[in-house]
Structure 1
Amino acid sequence: MNKISIKKINYLDTFPVRSAVLRQGKPIETCSFLGDDAVDTTHFGLYIENNIIGIASVFKTNNKNFDIKNQFQLRGMAILEEYQSAGFGKLLLEEIFNIIESNQVELLWFNARETAVSFYEKLGCIKKGASFEIPEIGTHFLMYKYFNM
Structure 2
Amino acid sequence: MKQLLIVGHTPSANTEQLREALVQGSQHPDIVDVACVYKSALDASAEDVLACDGIILFTTENLGYMSGALKDFFDRCYYPVLEKKQGLACAILIRAGHDGTGTQRALNTILTGLRWKIVHDIVILRGQWQSSFVAEAEELGLHMAAGLEVGIW
TM-score of the pair, normalised by structure 2: 0.38
Q: Which has the higher strand share?
A: 1
TM-score of the pair, normalised by structure 1: 0.39
Larger RCO, structures 1/2 (Cα 8 Å, 6+ apart): 2
